[in-house]
Amino acid sequence: MEITIVSPAGPGGLLTFSAAWGEGRGQWMGPPLPLPGERFDVEMEVPGLFIRWVNAVPAPGATSPSISIEGDGTTAVTGVLEELEEDGTAWLRLGDLELTFECLGEPMGIGGFITLRADRLQLYPKL
């Protein structure tokens, strides 16, 4: 995924970025720390354990992928739930990008849009 750095990296490499689907907050996971305006091709991960129907929720009005910063500072990532394994491993599709995440809770419908609310995304520059 191609991103543009919007804000300089702060403590822990936290920064704001823009992408084709919107703006988000991420943690830069590679040296050197990027500067505002720089563009990178990155791999993105969504860290943490998500609870279905709490911070992994259906997005019935969504018609396309999106990334946005919520009022509480979390990053909302909306895409299509592609697969959900019995062990809680799930795949979220945003266009050509596929994100793997871990979740618990009641089942959700495969093939529908859902939103993950994360404190941050992890951004790994492609070499």
pLDDT tens for each residue of 73-125: 999 999 999 999 999 999 999 998 999 999 999 888 899 999 999 999 999 99
How does strand 22-28 pair with strand 39-45? unpaired
Residues 51, 52, 54, 58: is their CA dihedral positive or negative? positive
Asked if residues 123 and 13 have their Cβ atoms less than 8 Å apart, the reply is no
Domains of the chain: which residue ranges? Answer: 2-125
5: which 2 tokens?
């750095």
Q: How many residues does the chain have?
A: 127
Asked if residues 94 and 100 have their Cβ atoms less than 8 Å apart, the reply is no
What global pTM score does this model have?
A: 0.92
